[in-house]
Structure 1
Amino acid sequence: MTITAEVHLRSPLLPLVSVAELPQIDEVQCPHVLGLEQGVQRFVVEIDATESLSEDQFLELDEIIEATDIGTARGKEVYKLTVVLRESVANAFEDTPDAGLVDAIRITPEGWYEQKVFKDYPAFKMFQTSCEEHGISVEILSITQDPSTSEDSVPYGLTERQYEALSLALSRGYYEQPRQTTAKELADEMDISQPSLSDLLNRAESQLISATLGPSPRLEILAQ
């Protein structure tokens, strides 16, 4: 069951956020990342800037240990930057499961915007948990499942429709505090009634609890 998630990662310690903060920078995109060794990565970045940047300007930033001006492509300057990752970021990246980058990373002073593909929802949750445990907040902008996936592959015994309702609710901030959307808005987006949406979510939540904690965990504890 392939999951595609668009996320906003927030942390001032993320690589190249310092580059995006430079006053002459309009936009930074990273279409390629290569891990060289533990804690060191090479980024190929495309930069839209009001003026050209020298390799020495990049080297003034503490995290960058090597900078090469490759040239111009699609109207943007292209650089190869070798970066030493902060320890917390290196640990977060090391602990995440394999995931494919769908599009270029957009790097801003507020963090990274990424679109990644995961083999399944648990793999995505592992990525999210690892990031948050190491101080990188993960805002889910959208999360979708491969429509060719069969119902049998939906995790935790959820039906396809229950999974769709939960994914939509999660991506729209329904489970955040305060809520970013309402049950009525979710129901309209799924083209169903609000009671039907609430029933889908209730059944899905019950199934998740049963699948992860087992049947009647409180009764089992009391019986011991």
Structure 2
Amino acid sequence: MALRAEYEIGCDVLPLVNVAEAVPDAGIDLAINPGMNERPRFTARVTGTDETVVAVEAEFERTPFVDEYTLVEHTDDASRYTILPGTSLEEQLGDHLDDLADLRALYEVPIHVERIHATPAGWIQRARFADRAAFDDLREFWQRNVSFRLHRLTHIGGDADERFGDDSGNDLTDAQLAAVRTAYELGYFEIPRRASLKDVANELDISASSCSERLRRAQTHLFEIHVEGTNRQRQSLLKTPHD
């Protein structure tokens, strides 16, 4: 089933993050032209006072990422620019990511990025995913390389306002669910504990390190969905941009 996710990628070398840091009063929303070529063309929508917009343009002049920028439209609400990058993906991100080929593959189908908001700490993205596997692949890539924080994950369709979950209410992989259920039944989560990590691992017939990783991933995921996602939703950090 298709999903929509809102999430934060904590990486200060992503394009225009340095501009957002230099001009924190500016709202900077980005779009990347189709395809993840070495130098994909960007579109930037900048909001703020006239002084703020001027300051952003000054940072465009300074940052190596921007080779050329063109003001396409200026209204009372926003200024729109096209940006031709001055650095390639390899030059911009190569030292910080383990595999650029994986990154390019992730942002091809089945993912459609609806919004990129540059912040002083990274990017906040809203994207649509063909299924849960596509979202998990993207999340695991960013978690492997930088920080990743999920704000909201929902179905797309008639129940689009409901937080993502299957009919049984669990959001875990089968292996994670088995680890959590076994740990619970053995008393691993009780205070004091009635079972050790090794006890749980033996019951699952896996190593203690694998068991620990499954439990940690499951706990992180449940926190993101049921605690962090709720907090982010209330704070409404991502608002639908007005054109």
- Which TM-score bucket, shorter chain as reference? 0.5 to 0.7
Residue in 1 that maps onto 2:78: 76
Q: How many pairs does the alignment contain?
A: 168
Distance 1:203 1:11 in 2: 30
1:2 to partner: Cα distance: 0.5
Residue in 1 that maps onto 2:232: none
Q: Does 1:161 align with 2:163?
A: no
- Give the direction of change, closer, same or farther, for the CA distance of 1:34–1:147 in structure 2 (3 Å limit): closer
Q: Does 1:101 align with 2:101?
A: no
**What is the CA RMSD across the aligned residues, in angstroms?**
3.6
Q: Give the conservation status (yes or no) of the 8 Å contact 2:36–2:104.
A: no
Give the secondary structure class of the aligned counterpart of 1:12: coil
Higher percent of residues as strand: 1
1:114 to partner: Cα distance: 1.1
Give the secondary structure class of the aligned counterpart of 2:5: strand
Deviation per residue, 1:111-155 (Å, 9 max, x gap)? 11111111111111111122233x232211111123569xxxxxx
Q: Give the conservation status (yes or no) of the 8 Å contact 1:69–1:78.
A: yes
Q: Give the conservation status (yes or no) of the 8 Å contact 1:25–1:47.
A: no
Residue in 1 that maps onto 2:16: 16
Q: Give the conservation status (yes or no) of the 8 Å contact 1:36–1:42.
A: no
1:40 to partner: Cα distance: 1.2
- Give the direction of change, closer, same or farther, for the CA distance of 1:202–1:24 in structure 2 (3 Å limit): closer
205, 214, 234: which one aligns with 1:218: 205
| Residue identity opposite 1:218 in structure 2 | D
Distance 1:36 1:206 in 2: 39
1:43-192 equivalences in 2 (<5 Å): 43-50=42-49, 51=51, 52-53=53-54, 57-73=59-75, 75-83=77-85, 84=87, 85=89, 86=92, 87=94, 88=96, 91=100, 93-97=103-107, 98=109, 99-102=111-114, 104-133=115-144, 135-146=145-156, 160-162=166-168, 164-166=169-171
Q: Structure 2: which 5+ residue stretches go unaligned?
A: 160-164, 182-202, 207-243
| Residue identity opposite 2:166 in structure 1 | E
Determine what percentage of the aligned residue pairs are the same residue: 19
Using structure 1 for the length normalisation, give the TM-score. Answer: 0.62
